[in-house]
Structure 1
Amino acid sequence: MESLIAAGRKALASFYATLCGAGLILGALFVAASLTPSLVPRSSLTQGVLSGLCFAAGYALGAWLRWLWRRLGWPETKGPWRARWLGLMLTACVVAMLAALWWATTWQNRLRARMHMPEMDGVGMLTTATLAMVVFAMLLIAVRGFGWVRRVLSRRLKRRIPAPTAAVLASIATVLIFWTLANGVLVNVGMRMLDRLYSERDARIEEDLPQPLDALKSGGPGSLLQWKTQGRQGRRMIADGPDRAGIEVVTGHPALEPLRVYVGLGSAETPQARASLALEELVRVGAFERSVLVIATPTGTGWVDGESQRALEYLLHGDVATVAVQYSYFASWLALLSQPEYGVETARAVFATIYEHWRRLPRERRPRLYLHGLSLGAFHSDRSHDLAQVIGDPYDGALWAGPPFNTPTWRAATRMRDAGTPAWLPRVRNGEVMRFTSQRNHLNDGHERDARWGRYRIVFLQYASDAVTFFEPGSLWHRPDWMQPPLGPDVSPDIVWIPVVSFLQLAVDLMVAVSPPKGYGHTYAFAHYVDAWAALTGPSAWWTDSRIDALKQHAHP
C-alpha cells in the first residue's frame, strides 16, 4: 500500500511539474472572475462548468503568453527566486478566488432579487470546485492528447521529409484525425441518439390532449390534417387555447371561436407540401374571413408560445386565425446546428404560399396579416421573406419575441438606434416603423407626440436579461453596448465586462436562458404579450386601459 501511495505521489508531482506556472496563475484569476454575475442566475452545477471553462481558457492564454515570451528571447526569472515568485503569485490568486467565492452568494442573490427568485444559501463551493477541476482536466487531457498525436506523427514523418514540412503535415493530419473523431463519430452517434429521443417524444400522444370533436379544429372531423401526424407541440397548440365560451367569461364580451391551424412534420413530405396543406386547411376553416391572420413560426421543437396565443385571442375576442408549420422536433440550438437552413426553407415556403393567396384577395375583405415568432421562430420568421417580395403590398406587421442575437432585422435596428437610447431598449427613427418593449410597456415612450406609427408595424419584445438576444460574440474582446449605463432593470448592477470571461459567461447563460421565472431571461410573460399585441393590432375601443389591466390580472394573475 505504501508503495502505491508513493507511486501516486510521484505521478502527481510529475504531472504538476509539467503544468505551466503562468497558465495556472491566469487560469486561477479567470476562475475568480467567473464568479461575478452575468445575465442569468447560476446553480452550483452551472457555476462549476463555467469555472472549469474559464480555468482552461486562462491556462491556455497563460501558456501561450509564456511561449511567446520565450520565443521573443525576453529574460526570465530562474532559480529559487522563480519558485518564490510563482508561489507568491499563486497564493495571491487563491486569495482572490476565496474573496470572489465570499462575494459570489451576494452577487447571485442581488440578481435573483431582481427576478423575484428566492435567495440561495451559498454557491456550493465543493460542488463548484470539483466540477471545475473535472472540466479543466478533461480539456487538458484532450489538448495534450492532440499534442502527443502530433509529435508522434511529426517524428515519423521526419525520417522521410524535412523537419519543417513534417511539422506542418503532422499538424494538419492531427486536426483531420480529431475532427473526424469528433464530427464523424461522436457527433453523428450523438445526433442519431438525440434524433431517436426527440422523434419518439414528438410522436407520443398524451392522454390529456384528446382529439378535437370540433370541425373548426385541425385534426378534428373533416380536417385535412391527421391528429397523430401533428406532433406533440402541434397537438398541444390546438388543444390548449381558450374557446369561445372561455373568452367570453374572461372578457365579458361576445366572442368567436379562435382558429388554430398546425401542420406537423409528419403531415407531408416536403416544406412546400406542408405549406400548401396549411393553406388548404386555412381556407377550409374560414381563416381568411377573420379580421386578423397570424403566421406563427415555431421554435426548433415545434412549440408556439401559448402565452402569446392566448393574449391575442382574448384581445381580439377570438376573431383571429393562427397558422404554424413544424420544421423540426429538436431543441432550438440543436435544430440550428443540425439543420440550419431547413427552418428558413420552411418559413419561406409557408410565407410565400399564404401571402400570395392573401394578396389576391380584395383588400376590403381580407384579414390583416401579421408574422410572429419566439426565439428561433423569430429568427426564421424574419428571414421568411425579402423586401422585393412584399414592397408592393406589405403585410401589416410582426411581433418578434426574444429574437436571437443574429436575427438580421434586429441587429440592423439595434445598430442604427437613435443617439442616447440604450442597446437593450433602442428607439429607431422615432418609432415610425419599429418599436421595442420589455417588462414595462415602452411602446409609446420617448416618441414625439405627433410621430405617426404607420400601418406597417414591427414590435420587438425583449428582456434585458435574455442571453439569447444579448449574447455577443464580440464580448470576447470588447464590452457589449448593452453593458453601457443605464443597465436594464433586470440586469445586475454588479455586472462587469472581463475579456474572454464575459464571453464564456454569456455562452453559458445562452444554454440556461429559460431557467428564470416568467418575465425574465428567455421566458416571456402573458402580460407583456398583451401590451405588445394591443399596440400592434390596435384592438377595438372597447379595450380601455383598465380593461387591459383587468385582463392581465384575471387571465394570468
Structure 2
Amino acid sequence: MNAVGEVLRTWWDRWRPSVTGLIVAALAAWVSLMPSLLPRAWHYQGIVTGVSMLVGYGVGVALRTLWRRVVAPRISLHPDVIALGDRLLAFARLSAPYVLVVYLITATATAIRWQDQVSDLVESPRPPWADYMRIPWVALGLFVALLIAARGLRVAYRAFVRAVRRRFGIGEYTARLAGVVVAAALLLGMVQGLVPRLFFDAANQIFSAQNNEDLPDARPPREPEKSGGPGSLVDFEDLGLQGRRFVSGGVDRETLSDLLGEEAKEPIRAYAGLESAPTDDERSDLVVAELDRTRAWERESVVIVPTTGTGWINSHAAQAIELLSGGDVATVGTQYSFLPSWISFLADREKAEAAGRSLVESVVEWRDSLPPGLPRPELYVYGESLGTQAGEAAFSGIRDIRATVDGVLWMGPPNSNRIWHSLVERRDPGTPVTEPVYADGLLVRFSEDPAESRGDDSPWIPPHVLYVQHATDPVVWWTPDLLFDRPAWLAEPPGKGRHPGMFYMPVLTFFQVTADLGNAVGGSQGYGHLYDHQILDGWAAATGREEWDDDEFQRFAELHAVAMLNQDRG
C-alpha cells in the first residue's frame, strides 16, 4: 500500500498542474463565455472553452517560467516570507484543481444571462438551463485531454534532449536548443506541409465521393431549358451533387403561371460541373453554349452566379429571381471544387476567383457579341459568401462593375473581398462600418436589411450594386487584423443583433470571432451568415423593381414559400 502511495505521490509531483497556468486558464475560460457575435450550442461552447483553457494554461506556464528564471533571482526576501510563500504555494497546488472545477461551473452559471441575451438579440430560441450546465464538463474533459497530450510532447522533447546529450556529448543548453530547432522544424513542416496536405487530400477524397452521390429528388430535367435535360450539351451525371440539385430544382412554367396568376416562361438553368470539362474556361464555354442552345438572348435577364466551394447555388436565390421575373430569366453557374465553402476559403480562394472571373467574362463577352438583330438581355451578378469574392474577381472596381453589368446582389461578403474592403474604407465620414454609405448611396449601397429599401425613392443611379451584410456575421468581420487592432465595428454603437457588451480585447477577440466562424449559421434568418429571407428584397433593390412595397413583398414571400416547399436548400 505504501508503494502504491509513493507511486501516486511521485506521479502527482511530476504531473501536477501549474497554479499560475490554472489561474490564467480560468481567466481564459471566463473570456470564452463572454458575449460574442452569435449564440453557441452547449457542445460547441464546451469545445471553445476547453481550447481556450489550454491556451490560457500555456500562457500562464510561460509567465511562471519567466518569473522564476528572470525576475525572482533578482529579488531578495526574508526567509520567513519565503517560508510563508512556500506553504501558500503548497496549499494552492493541492486546492487549485478543485477550485478550477467549482469556478468553471460558477462562471458558466453566471454567463447564462449573457448567452440568453445574445440568443434574444438574434431571435434564436434560448437553450434550456440544463444544456448550459453541460458546458463545464465538456470543457474540463477536453482541457485535461489536451493537457495530457501536451505533457506527452514535453516528455518526448526531454527524452530527445537526453538522447542528444548522451550521443554527442554536448552541453545541456546546446541540446535543448537542438531540441527546440527540431521541434520547430517538425511543427512548421506539419503546419505548412504534411498536415494541410493530408487534410486537403482527405477532404478531396471525402467530398469528391460526396460529389457523385445520388440525390433522392434529383433527376435529369425533362425541360430542354435546363442543363442535363433533352438536347443539353452537358451530361446530367457530370454536373456534380450541387449542379444536379440546381438543374433539377425550381418550379416549372406551369407551376409558375399558377402561382403568379399569369402566363410565365420556363426558366433557363445552365450549369457545368467539374467533370463536364477539365478547365474553368472550358466549363464557362459550355455554359455559354447552353445559353445559345436555349436562346437565352430572348430572356429579359441573365443572372451569373459564381458559386461557393462545391458549386452550390442557393435555391432560394434562384427561385426568387424566377418568381420576380415570371420565369423570363436564365441563371448560370459552374463548379470549380469538390470542397465546401469554408475549406475552399482556406485553400481555394485563388481557384474561386479564377473560376468566377472566367464565368463572368465569358457571359459578358457572349452578351456583347450578340448580333445587332438580336435582343440583349440584362446581366446581373449574384453571390453569397465566397461566391462574392469569386464575382468581384472579374472586375477592377466599382466603375468597372457599373460599366459591365446591369446590377449586382452580393450577400455576406468575406472581409478579404478586395472591392468591398476598398469601398468600406472610403465610406462617407460619420457612417458606420456595419452599414456604410458610399458617395451618398448614388453608386453602391450596403444594407443590414434590404427590407429598408421598400418604397425608398432616394436617388440611386442604375445599375444598382447592393451588398447585404449583417453586423453579426463573422464571415464579414473576421480578419487577422483582429489580433492587435480594434476594428471600427467594435468602436461604433452595435449594429443590428450585436450584443452591446462585446468589446475589443487584443488577441482574445480574434479567437472569439474565429470561434464564431465555425458557428456562422448559429442564429436565425437575418442574422449571422443566414440571408435566405432577405433575398427577395435584395433582388427587388438590385433590379430596380418598381412599386416594391410591403404588400408586394408579402405577396411574393408567400409565393416563394410555396415554391420552396419541396426544394432542398443544399
> TM-score, length-normalised on structure 2?
0.87
**CA separation of 1:362/1:9 partners in 2, compared to 1, >3 Å: closer, same or farther?**
farther
Q: Indicate the residue corresponding to 1:413 in structure 2.
A: 423
Q: Indicate the residue corresponding to 1:555 in structure 2.
A: 560
Q: Indicate the residue corresponding to 1:257 in structure 2.
A: 266
**CA separation of 1:95/1:196 partners in 2, compared to 1, >3 Å: closer, same or farther?**
closer
Residue identity opposite 1:463 in structure 2: H
Q: Indicate the residue corresponding to 2:433 in structure 1.
A: 423
1:514 aligns with 2:524: no
Unmatched 5+ stretches in structure 1: none
**CA separation of 1:10/1:160 partners in 2, compared to 1, >3 Å: closer, same or farther?**
closer
Q: Indicate the residue corresponding to 1:27 in structure 2.
A: 25
Residue identity opposite 2:375 in structure 1: R
**CA separation of 1:467/1:252 partners in 2, compared to 1, >3 Å: closer, same or farther?**
same
Q: Write the distance in 2 (CA, Å) between the matches of 1:454 and 1:286.
A: 30
Maintained 8 Å contact 2:104/2:136: no
Q: Write the distance in 2 (CA, Å) between the matches of 1:82 and 1:421.
A: 57
Q: Write the distance in 1 (CA, Å) between the matches of 2:326 and 2:188.
A: 55
1:231 aligns with 2:240: yes
**CA separation of 1:477/1:82 partners in 2, compared to 1, >3 Å: closer, same or farther?**
farther
Q: Indicate the residue corresponding to 2:62 in structure 1.
A: 64
Q: Indicate the residue corresponding to 1:373 in structure 2.
A: 383
CA-to-aligned-CA distance 1:268-311 (integer Å, 9 cap, x gap)? 11112111111111111122221211110111122111111111
3-state secondary structure, aligned to 1:464: coil
Q: Write the distance in 1 (CA, Å) between the matches of 2:371 and 2:460.
A: 24
Q: Write the distance in 2 (CA, Å) between the matches of 1:516 and 1:410.
A: 24
Maintained 8 Å contact 1:372/1:400: yes
Q: Indicate the residue corresponding to 1:492 in structure 2.
A: 499
Q: CA deviation at 1:223?
A: 0.2
Q: Indicate the residue corresponding to 1:468 in structure 2.
A: 475
CA-to-aligned-CA distance 1:341-379 (integer Å, 9 cap, x gap)? 222221222222222222233689311212111111112
Alignment of 1:311-322 (within 5 A): 311-322=320-331
**CA separation of 1:393/1:136 partners in 2, compared to 1, >3 Å: closer, same or farther?**
same
**CA separation of 1:387/1:126 partners in 2, compared to 1, >3 Å: closer, same or farther?**
closer
**CA separation of 1:2/1:318 partners in 2, compared to 1, >3 Å: closer, same or farther?**
farther
3-state secondary structure, aligned to 1:265: coil
Q: CA deviation at 1:149?
A: 5.0
Q: Write the distance in 1 (CA, Å) between the matches of 2:260 and 2:9.
A: 74
1:533 aligns with 2:543: no
Q: CA deviation at 1:42?
A: 1.1
Q: Write the distance in 2 (CA, Å) between the matches of 1:494 and 1:151.
A: 45
The count of corresponding residues between Structure 1 and Structure 2 is 550
Q: Indicate the residue corresponding to 2:568 in structure 1.
A: none
Residue identity opposite 1:270 in structure 2: T
**CA separation of 1:92/1:348 partners in 2, compared to 1, >3 Å: closer, same or farther?**
same
Q: Write the distance in 1 (CA, Å) between the matches of 2:70 and 2:130.
A: 42
Alignment of 1:104-143 (within 5 A): 104-122=111-129, 124=131, 127-143=134-150
Q: CA deviation at 1:384?
A: 3.0
Maintained 8 Å contact 1:54/1:501: no
Maintained 8 Å contact 1:437/1:461: yes
CA RMSD of superposed structures (Å) = 3.2
1:175 aligns with 2:184: yes
**CA separation of 1:554/1:460 partners in 2, compared to 1, >3 Å: closer, same or farther?**
same
Structure 1 residues 452-461 or 471-480, which shifts more?
471-480
Q: CA deviation at 1:49?
A: 0.9
Q: CA deviation at 1:401?
A: 0.8
Q: Write the distance in 2 (CA, Å) between the matches of 1:305 and 1:392.
A: 24
3-state secondary structure, aligned to 1:372: strand
Q: Write the distance in 2 (CA, Å) between the matches of 1:144 and 1:531.
A: 55
CA-to-aligned-CA distance 1:219-275 (integer Å, 9 cap, x gap)? 011000111111111111112212222323333333221111111111111112111
Structure 1 residues 79-88 or 344-353, which shifts more?
79-88
Q: CA deviation at 1:178?
A: 3.4
Q: Write the distance in 2 (CA, Å) between the matches of 1:99 and 1:69.
A: 30
Q: Indicate the residue corresponding to 2:228 in structure 1.
A: 219
**CA separation of 1:535/1:214 partners in 2, compared to 1, >3 Å: closer, same or farther?**
same
Q: Write the distance in 2 (CA, Å) between the matches of 1:385 and 1:123.
A: 51
Q: CA deviation at 1:428?
A: 1.5
Q: CA deviation at 1:97?
A: 4.0
Q: Write the distance in 2 (CA, Å) between the matches of 1:266 and 1:402.
A: 29
CA-to-aligned-CA distance 1:445-500 (integer Å, 9 cap, x gap)? 9x9x7x63222332111222211112243333344322334212222234333443
Q: Write the distance in 1 (CA, Å) between the matches of 2:82 and 2:416.
A: 49
- Please, which of 302, 308, 311 is the counterpart of residue 302 of structure 1? 311
Q: Indicate the residue corresponding to 1:7 in structure 2.
A: 7
Q: CA deviation at 1:187?
A: 4.3
Alignment of 1:5-404 (within 5 A): 7-8=7-8, 10-16=10-16, 19-70=17-68, 72-73=70-71, 75=75, 78-81=82-85, 84=88, 87=92, 97-122=104-129, 124=131, 127-153=134-160, 159=168, 167-181=176-190, 185-361=194-370, 365-387=375-397, 390=400, 393-404=403-414
Maintained 8 Å contact 1:36/1:496: no
Residue identity opposite 1:53 in structure 2: V
Q: CA deviation at 1:383?
A: 1.6
Structure 1 residues 214-223 or 202-211, which shifts more?
202-211
Maintained 8 Å contact 2:305/2:383: yes
**CA separation of 1:78/1:143 partners in 2, compared to 1, >3 Å: closer, same or farther?**
farther
Q: Write the distance in 2 (CA, Å) between the matches of 1:393 and 1:181.
A: 46
Maintained 8 Å contact 2:364/2:404: no
Structure 1 residues 203-212 or 512-521, which shifts more?
512-521
Q: Write the distance in 1 (CA, Å) between the matches of 2:116 and 2:313.
A: 32
3-state secondary structure, aligned to 2:437: coil
CA-to-aligned-CA distance 1:116-141 (integer Å, 9 cap, x gap)? 33222226466423332343344444
> TM-score, length-normalised on structure 1?
0.88
Residue identity opposite 1:553 in structure 2: E
Structure 1 residues 344-353 or 322-331, which shifts more?
344-353
Q: CA deviation at 1:47?
A: 1.1
